[in-house]
């Protein structure tokens, strides 16, 4: 059986992507949570995950003797291994666009990612209002997200970005979590998409796992001293 190594569900946005993809697609897998104690070289996290991948980062998908790291590589491997699941859109043009927006997420939106770290358990609308007031990079990132999602939802008719659930929706699920936690201003159609993503069974299961952790990590919490 496939085995997926992930970090804390409350904080690990990169871990969330392949986990949601596997769960939502109904692909059986075993979960291995490696707690974030710190990211120092001598931390238990680094020592544990370094035995699985040379990057010493999560997520990592293990299939027998093969370890696949990086979320895009994991997504592509799963799409190849399970073609019947249609993890990418079936239409060639839509598939190319889905890969493009995932790659854009993979390398971009650094303002949103740095200023609004994923924290599913928290509700930080006041912090979000200050970020919105003071961080133009977050404005630009959210504007691009709204533009992207609006165009895709209108073109493909929803309810997901390319009609049916795909890798793209799993890839942007952590963005939806950030937008929720910090209550950043969104048009109604985009807020509705965030809600639909949050209610997907795979996403809802990850959210519940995050809520059940009860694991406050101060180094992951720039805005709170305690939970």
155 assigned to some structural domain: yes
**How far apart, in whole angstroms, are the C-alpha atoms of residue 160 and residue 185?**
20
50 assigned to some structural domain: yes
Q: Are residues 53 and 69 in the same domain?
A: yes
Residue 159 near residue 168 (C-beta atoms within 8 A): no
pLDDT in tens, the chain (227 residues): 999 999 999 999 999 999 999 999 999 999 999 999 989 989 999 999 999 999 999 999 999 999 999 999 999 999 999 999 999 999 999 999 999 999 999 999 999 999 999 999 999 999 999 999 999 999 999 999 999 999 999 999 999 999 999 999 999 999 999 999 999 999 999 999 999 999 999 999 999 999 999 999 998 999 988 77
User: Which structural domain, as residue segments, surrounds residue 104?
Assistant: 92-208
- For the chain, how many structural domains are there in total? 2
Biggest CA-to-CA distance, the chain: 49
17 assigned to some structural domain: yes
Q: Are residues 58 and 112 in the same domain?
A: no
Q: Apex CA 197: angle with CA 31 and CA 220, to 5°? A: 55
SS3 194: helix
Q: Are residues 140 and 49 in the same domain?
A: no
Q: Are residues 107 and 197 in the same domain?
A: yes
Domain termination residue (choose one: 44, 59, 85): 85
């Amino acid at each position: 059986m496939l085995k997926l190594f992930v970090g804390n569900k409350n904080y690990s946005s990169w871990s969330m992507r392949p986990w949601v993809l596997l769960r939502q697609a109904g692909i059986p897998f075993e979960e291995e949570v490696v707690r974030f104690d710190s990211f120092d070289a001598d931390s238990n996290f680094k020592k544990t995950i370094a035995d699985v991948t040379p990057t010493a980062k999560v997520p990592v998908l293990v299939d027998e003797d093969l370890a696949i790291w990086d979320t895009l590589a994991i997504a592509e491997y799963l799409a190849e291994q399970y073609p019947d699941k249609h993890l990418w859109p079936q239409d060639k043009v839509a598939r190319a666009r889905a890969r493009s927006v995932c790659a854009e997420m993979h390398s971009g939106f650094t303002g949103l990612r740095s200023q609004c770290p994923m924290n599913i358990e928290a509700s930080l609308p006041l912090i979000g209002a200050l970020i919105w007031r003071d961080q133009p990079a977050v404005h630009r990132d959210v504007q691009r997200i709204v533009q992207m999602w609006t165009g895709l939802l209108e073109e493909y008719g929803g309810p997901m970005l390319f009609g049916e659930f795909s890798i793209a929706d799993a890839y942007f699920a952590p963005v939806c979590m950030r937008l929720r936690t910090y209550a950043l201003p969104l048009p109604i159609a985009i807020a509705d998409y965030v809600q639909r993503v949050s209610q997907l069974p795979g996403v809802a299961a990850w959210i519940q796992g995050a809520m059940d952790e009860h694991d406050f990590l101060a180094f992951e919490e720039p805005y709170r001293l305690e939970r």
